[in-house]
Amino acid sequence: MGAEKFIDAVNFWNLKFYLFGGAMTIKRNLTFIITLILLSPIALTSCGKSNKYKSPHPPKVTVSKPVEKAITEYINFTGNTSSINTVQLRARVEGYLEKVFFQDGATVKKAQQLFLIQQNTYEAKLKAANAEILVQKANLEHAQTEYDRYSDLVKKAAASQTDLDKWHYQRDATAAAVMQAEANRDLAQLDLDYTTVNAPFDGRIDRRLKDPGNLVGSGEKTVLAEINQIDPIYAYFTISERELLRIRDENKELKRSVDRDWKAPVSMGLANEKGYPHQGFLDFEAITIDPNTGTLLLRGIFENPKGLLIPGFFARIRVQIKKDVQVILVPQKAVGYDQIGPYVYIVNDNNIVERRTVTLGQDKGDMQVIQDGLNGQESIIIEGLLRAYPGRNVTPVDAAESNPGESK
């Protein structure tokens, strides 16, 4: 645009404002003209040269090859801990609770006395039963003497056979009475023994449910407390039918664990523990699959000498399947998730980002086992994921050559 055209343009706008500006003043026209003069260098410059779009450089991303490695393959489950034995201590005889010999929640030993129920009534019954035995034994001795005497008299024809038969009957009936009295004595002794409630095994006892002075065992076997044996301790978990079949196909020895001739190793970790520090073995497998859930109940047993594991804990459980399995691993930070499932981004030969759906296996620290989806030769994006999306051109930088803190 030349100077003459610029002047023509100014004249044109002046004429237009003169004809149609009505309310515009000469001052406004001058202001407009001055503005055009000030902007004219920009207009002249823009008319003389055109701008061209220059695309930015492809973003850098850090890539690495998957790692191929032989590992021990595991399968993970979740379950709960449970005591190996649980007993409700009950009052088996009626009486007033006299004493409690433990602190609530304490650790107790087998045969340790825990409760004492009123004994005097049962001691008196035991004495009466012993007295009855003495009476019946005296009767038996008398009947035996008379039977022997009448046996001699019958031989001498000095007594009738009827008298002999009577004492024969009396002797045998009295012998039975002695046996009945001895049985009553044993029952009285049992009732007296039941007044003392002892621990059936080593374990931890819950709080007492009855305080001293209460009448217990009246019309029912009153629960006094509950005791659990927690060393060793169980962990129950379930396995799906599909996983069970896969394990049995891949590890034939695992079948023998049910027969107890081979102990399948099992590891366990609590919710706040790192890894699986508790070691045990499988000791039970249910005989049927639950038709409602399609799962099979399994049980592991673990040593618990310090009693740190208590029933009801949430447990993470790991069962070994195979050793020396060749697998592909990628860093866990390279794995993403969406509605389709887990995936990784790879960079192809043309430096274009591609999405690759993968099937995950177990995790190995910061690495993730890939069961399917990779062949081990891909360039996996491990850093710069926020700048990568399928179809985008990128500049790959090998992780071995890049600064670990450069791309994030």
20 falls in which pLDDT band (50, 70, 90)? Answer: very low
Of 86, 132, 73, 54, nearest in space to 320 by CA: 73
Top-ranked range on mean pLDDT: pick from 52-66, 148-162, 258-272: 148-162
Q: Which two tokens stand for residue 406?
A: 């450069």
Number of domains in the chain: 4
Same domain, 311 and 234: yes
Point out the domain boundary residue: 323, 345, 367.
Answer: 323
- Does the pLDDT of residue 5 top 70, yes or no? no
pLDDT digits (tens, 9 = 90+) for 133-165: 999 999 999 999 988 888 888 888 888 888 888
- Flag whether 180 is in a domain: yes
pLDDT digits (tens, 9 = 90+) for 281-339: 988 888 899 999 999 999 999 999 988 999 999 999 998 877 777 889 999 999 999 99
Burial of 107 (0-12, 13-18, 19+ CB in 10 A): middle
On the CB side of 241, how many CA atoms lie within 13 Å of its CA?
Answer: 8
Given a contact cutoff of 8 angstroms between Cβ atoms, the answer to whether 75 and 319 are in contact is: yes
Same domain, 105 and 183: yes
Point out the domain boundary residue: 192, 227, 262.
Answer: 227
Same domain, 392 and 318: no
More confident position, 295 or 245:
295
- Flag whether 55 is in a domain: no
CATH code, 162: 2.40.50.100
Percent of the chain with pLDDT over 70: 81
- Does the pLDDT of residue 352 top 50, yes or no? yes
Alpha helices, DSSP H, located in 208-270: 241-250
- Does the pLDDT of residue 96 top 80, yes or no? yes
Q: What is the pLDDT of residue 95?
A: 94
The alpha carbon dihedral of 274, 280, 281, 282 has a sign of negative
- Does the pLDDT of residue 47 top 60, yes or no? no
- Does the pLDDT of residue 15 top 50, yes or no? no
- Does the pLDDT of residue 45 top 60, yes or no? no
Given a contact cutoff of 8 angstroms between Cβ atoms, the answer to whether 239 and 79 are in contact is: no
DSSP letter string, 71-114:
EEEEEEEEEEEEEEEEEEEE--S-EEEEEE-S-TT-EE-TT-EE
Q: What is the distance between the alpha carbons of residues 327 and 361, in angstroms, rounded to a whole number?
A: 9
Mean pLDDT throughout 360-371? 84
- Flag whether 264 is in a domain: yes
Cβ neighbours of 397 (radius 10 Å): 18
- Does the pLDDT of residue 258 top 50, yes or no? no
Given a contact cutoff of 8 angstroms between Cβ atoms, the answer to whether 380 and 63 are in contact is: yes
- Does the pLDDT of residue 173 top 60, yes or no? yes
Same domain, 337 and 367: yes
Point out the domain boundary residue: 181, 202, 227.
Answer: 227
Given a contact cutoff of 8 angstroms between Cβ atoms, the answer to whether 122 and 190 are in contact is: no
Query: Is the pTM here over 0.85, yes or no?
Result: no
Angle at 259 between CA 258 and CA 260, to 5 degrees: 90
Range of the domain at 261: 74-82+228-323
Same domain, 288 and 360: no
Helix axes 161-194, 120-155, angle to 10 degrees: 160
Of 358, 361, 360, nearest in space to 378 by CA: 358
- Does the pLDDT of residue 190 top 50, yes or no? yes
Same domain, 209 and 277: no
30 falls in which pLDDT band (50, 70, 90)? Answer: low
State the average pLDDT for the chain. 83
Alpha carbon distances (Å) from 232 to 2, 21, 302, 303, 305:
100, 101, 6, 4, 7
Mean pLDDT throughout 51-72? 81
Same domain, 121 and 214: yes
pLDDT digits (tens, 9 = 90+) for 214-226: 999 988 889 999 9
Same domain, 220 and 97: yes
Given a contact cutoff of 8 angstroms between Cβ atoms, the answer to whether 62 and 397 are in contact is: yes
